[in-house]
């Protein structure tokens, strides 16, 4: 279904939403909590820098 470019983003968003809903439910039952964080400042934002850093570390 994700191959349909018109619906792909909405399908993926709905999937993540459902996943977070289930994760929150399970966490609550286990006495834990789920905290959503902004992507800003995470490794996803700096992916190219991390790949370069990892490559240089492997070379060393």
Q: What is the mean pLDDT of each run of 10 residues along the chain (60 residues)?
A: 71 82 94 83 59 73
pTM: 0.51
Question: In this structure, what token pair is assigned to residue 38?
Answer: 């902004």
Cα distances (angstroms) measured from residue 40 to each of 14, 43, 47, 54: 21, 9, 12, 21
CA separation for the pair 14, 21 (Å, rounded):
10
What is the C-alpha to C-alpha distance for residues 32 and 52, in angstroms, rounded to an integer?
36
Q: How far apart are CA 2 and CA 12, in angstroms?
A: 7
């Amino acid at each position: 279904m994700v191959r349909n470019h018109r619906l792909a983003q909405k399908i993926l968003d709905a999937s993540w939403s459902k996943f977070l809903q289930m994760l929150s439910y399970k966490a609550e039952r286990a006495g834990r909590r789920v905290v959503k964080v902004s992507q800003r400042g995470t490794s996803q934002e700096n992916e190219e820098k991390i790949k370069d850093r990892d490559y240089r570390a492997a070379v060393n």
